[in-house]
Amino acid sequence: MLIIEGKKFVDCNQATLDMLGYANRDDLFSTHPSELSPEFQADGRPSFDKANEMIAIAMDQGSNRFEWLHTRANGEHFPVEVLLTSISFDGQILLHVVWRDITQRIETEQEVIEQRNHLQDLTNTLEQRVENRSQELAAKNKELDFQKLALDEHAIVSITDVNGDITYANDKICQISEYSREELLGQNHRIFKSGEHTTAFYEDLWQTISSGKVWNGEIKNNTKNGGSYWVKATLVPFLDEQGAPFQYAAIRTDITDRKLAEAAKTEFVATVSHELRTPLTSIIGALGLLRSGSMGDVPEQHKTMLEIASNNSDRLQLLINDLLDIEKIEAGKMTFDMKPTPVMALVEDVIKANAGFANQHKVTFKLTGIEEDVQVEGDPDRLMQILSNLMSNAAKFSNEGDQIEISVTYDETNIRVDVTDSGPGIPEEFHENLFEKFTQADSSDTRQIGGTGLGLSITKGIVNRHGGTINFETREGEGSTFYFTLPIYK
């Protein structure tokens, strides 16, 4: 509390001295009232002008309540709420001033304002993020619509629940199956079952997708009216948060024409091959008798022609055998008599069996490797076929006097056989397709040397059926190493 008469202080209480930071009344009373305020108030107005206005209002209305910015004795500014009251005493007009320090309230209000502003900033940021996310989702949904349209235009698509009951069917599956969408929805996928595949086939399929993995394969299905069609299918499980499937999507491509063409080709190759084998065997036998002299002496000028005929007959027989083998492999009909087989003994037998071939090409085979009698589970005849193919290729592409190295090594799980030559190597452009049918590194050289272009494809198929792998390393002009690995029999 403070009492002002005119432009001087005439009385105050201790709370005023404490608030303003003065030691006693004399120090305060010797101070001009203008020294208790900064030059400008918080609203930017000069303190002198605003003070006169606040006093005038108090004089006119009897009192005036307002906020003011004061200055302590140490020069520090602080806000107060002022109640200014005019009173008449002994013929004089006095101003009775009551202050209340509102520093804490102002700070609290400022904090509230700052928090409100911060909250508004967060709200604006969140709204912007929601808007951005909504736009992103809209764009993604549009993109997904385009992808779905493209997929439906190209593929045969259906979706089932975990029991295999159809929940979605696109137009193409209706067209190819001859069922309407209404007839398919709610039906189990077994409605398409053709009887072509074994129970084990379907058990493997369901075990794969029910464990959350994608299944790929070819399936024959039946149509509503008793027809059939083949598809190349990809079955994709949709997983929940626990990683368990809750539905399956089946995406298929119609391969009926391809399967019919393959069947026709297989039948044609098999028929031609078998039809050729009988007369060819007779021709080879007759040529053998003529060359041996069993049918009488052959004039010297005819021996060369017999040699050419005999060699070409052997090549034709090799081609027929390779064609039959490749068709058996692709159809999954090649038989295997699997049994524990010692690898080193088998390699030694192959080297002996191919000694004549090595002499013909004036090369030698050298075996290096293990002393232990490590075994694999395999068909000995087919394993010999693998090695014979690799060794004959190495011999054909080696120079006279070269040594071809056959190396056998193993680790804890696999045994590895390497066949290394020092021939011309394989150009890089042939690396990717070398194990495909009718692939030859250099058609001109290979035609001169001989070969069907099927040997490596057959070899890879046999290795794969034994659970192994096959590959090669090569450098042009320095030779090649073909190697295959097989699981050790334990």
Which domains are seen in the chain, by residue range? Answer: 2-101 (3.30.450.20), 155-254 (3.30.450.20), 260-331 (1.10.287.130), 339-487 (3.30.565.10)
What pLDDT shows up at residue 451? Answer: 57
Per-residue model confidence as pLDDT tens digits over 302-330: 777 887 787 777 777 777 777 777 777 77
Confidence class for position 448, pLDDT limits 50, 70, 90 = very low
For residues 50 and 371, which has the higher predicted lDDT (pLDDT)?
50
Read off the tokens for 50. 């605003």
* % of the chain with per-residue pLDDT over 90: 45
What pLDDT shows up at residue 439? Answer: 60
Per-residue model confidence as pLDDT tens digits over 262-273: 777 777 777 776
Confidence class for position 447, pLDDT limits 50, 70, 90 = very low
Range 323-341 average pLDDT: 80
Confidence class for position 71, pLDDT limits 50, 70, 90 = very high
The burial class, CB within 10 Å (0-12 / 13-18 / 19+), for 321 is middle
Per-residue model confidence as pLDDT tens digits over 206-226: 999 999 999 999 999 999 999
Range 405-428 average pLDDT: 92
Per-residue model confidence as pLDDT tens digits over 178-215: 999 999 999 999 999 998 999 999 999 999 999 999 99
Parallel/antiparallel/unpaired status of strands 403-410 and 364-368: parallel
Confidence class for position 444, pLDDT limits 50, 70, 90 = very low
Mean pLDDT value across the chain: 86
What pLDDT shows up at residue 446? Answer: 44
Confidence class for position 148, pLDDT limits 50, 70, 90 = low
For residues 92 and 148, which has the higher predicted lDDT (pLDDT)?
92
Cβ-Cβ contacts under 8 Å for 85 (sequence gap 6 or more) = 58, 62, 63, 95, 96, 97, 98
Read off the tokens for 326. 């490749």
Range 42-53 average pLDDT: 91
What pLDDT shows up at residue 325? Answer: 76
Per-residue model confidence as pLDDT tens digits over 94-111: 889 998 988 888 888 889
Please determine, for residue 409, whether its predicted confidence score (pLDDT) is greater than 90.
Answer: yes
**Greatest mean pLDDT among 145-149, 367-371, 448-452, 464-468:** 464-468
Cβ-Cβ contacts under 8 Å for 303 (sequence gap 6 or more) = 291
Please determine, for residue 385, whether its predicted confidence score (pLDDT) is greater than 80.
Answer: yes
Range 78-100 average pLDDT: 89
What's the first-to-final CA gap in the chain, in angstroms? 104
The answer to whether the CB of 16 falls within 8 A of the CB of 99 is yes
For residues 396 and 153, which has the higher predicted lDDT (pLDDT)?
396
* % of the chain with per-residue pLDDT over 70: 94
Range 164-169 average pLDDT: 94
Confidence class for position 289, pLDDT limits 50, 70, 90 = confident
Please determine, for residue 418, whether its predicted confidence score (pLDDT) is greater than 80.
Answer: yes
